[in-house]
C-alpha cells in the first residue's frame, strides 16, 4: 500500500487522541500537508491500527456531502490572515467531501464558492488506511500563509468516536478552537 500518494514534501505529523477519549484500535494517525500551488491544499492521512474495529465508510460516488464528521473522517481547518474567519474541510474515506466557510468561531458554516475537490483517494489493508486529498481553495488568499489545524474523527465499533488533532487546547474535543490552528503553510516558492 502506498501511503503518501501525493509525494508530499511536508513533514509527517502525528495527530494525538484527545485525553477524554480512548485511542481504541488506532495505533498511530499521521498526516502530511502542503501547498503544491498557491490555492491548492494537498493532504496525506495514514491511520495505522486494528482496522477490523474501525468503522470505515465504504466507497461511494465522489462528491460533496454533509455530516461526514459523524463517522470516520479526516479534517483540516484553514485560516488566512489575522481575521476570525476560517474554512473547515471534511474528507471521508468514502470519497465524499465537504468544505464550510465560517465568519468567526462556529459562525456561518456555509459552502463557500471557489472550492473544489480535485481528488479524494483511499487505500487500505488490514492495518492501514490511507487517504489522500487535493483541494482547490480559490476563495482563500493564495499570497498569504495559511494557519491550519489538522484533525480526524475515528469511529470504533466498540467504543464510539475518538478525536485526533495536532493540538487539543480545550477540555472537550473542539477542532474549531482558534488555538488548534498550529501549522503554518506558506505559499509555495515561485518556480
Kindly list the domain boundaries of the chain, sorted by start residue: 13-185
Looking at the chain, the whole-number percentage of residues with pLDDT higher than 90 is 70
Q: Burial level of 4, CB count in 10 A (0-12/13-18/19+)?
A: middle
DSSP state of 126: S
| Euclidean distance between CA atoms 125 and 42, whole angstroms | 22
| Euclidean distance between CA atoms 90 and 118, whole angstroms | 14
Q: What is the pTM of this model?
A: 0.91
pLDDT score, position 142? 93
Cell (9 digits) for 101:
466557510
pLDDT at 101 over 70: yes
pLDDT at 5 over 90: no
Looking at the chain, the whole-number percentage of residues with pLDDT higher than 70 is 94
pLDDT at 92 over 70: yes
Average pLDDT across the chain, whole number: 89
Cell (9 digits) for 15:
495527530
The reply to whether CATH 2.60.40 applies to domain 13-185 is yes
Please say whether the beta carbons of 131 and 120 come within 8 A.
yes
How far apart are the two ends of the chain, measured CA to CA in Å? 31
pLDDT score, position 123? 85
Instruction: List pLDDT tens digits, range 146-173.
Output: 999 999 999 999 879 999 999 999 999 9
Amino acid at each position: 500500500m502506498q501511503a503518501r500518494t501525493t509525494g508530499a514534501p511536508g513533514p509527517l505529523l502525528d495527530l494525538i487522541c484527545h485525553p477524554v477519549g480512548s485511542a481504541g484500535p488506532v495505533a498511530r494517525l499521521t498526516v502530511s500537508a502542503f501547498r503544491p500551488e498557491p490555492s491548492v491544499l494537498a493532504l496525506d492521512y495514514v491511520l495505522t491500527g486494528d482496522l477490523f474495529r474501525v468503522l470505515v465508510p465504504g466507497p461511494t460516488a465522489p462528491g460533496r456531502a454533509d455530516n461526514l464528521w459523524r463517522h470516520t473522517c479526516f479534517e483540516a481547518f484553514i485560516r488566512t490572515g489575522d481575521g476570525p474567519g476560517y474554512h473547515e474541510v471534511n474528507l471521508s474515506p468514502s470519497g465524499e467531501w465537504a468544505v464550510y466557510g465560517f465568519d468567526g468561531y462556529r459562525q456561518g458554516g456555509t459552502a463557500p464558492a471557489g472550492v473544489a475537490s480535485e481528488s479524494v483517494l483511499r487505500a487500505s489493508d488490514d492495518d492501514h488506511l490511507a487517504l489522500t486529498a487535493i483541494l482547490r481553495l480559490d476563495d482563500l488568499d493564495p499570497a498569504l500563509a495559511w494557519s491550519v489545524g489538522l484533525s480526524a474523527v475515528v469511529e470504533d465499533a466498540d467504543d464510539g468516536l475518538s478525536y485526533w488533532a495536532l493540538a487539543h487546547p480545550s477540555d472537550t474535543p473542539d477542532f474549531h478552537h482558534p488555538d488548534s490552528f498550529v501549522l503554518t503553510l506558506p505559499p509555495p516558492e515561485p518556480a
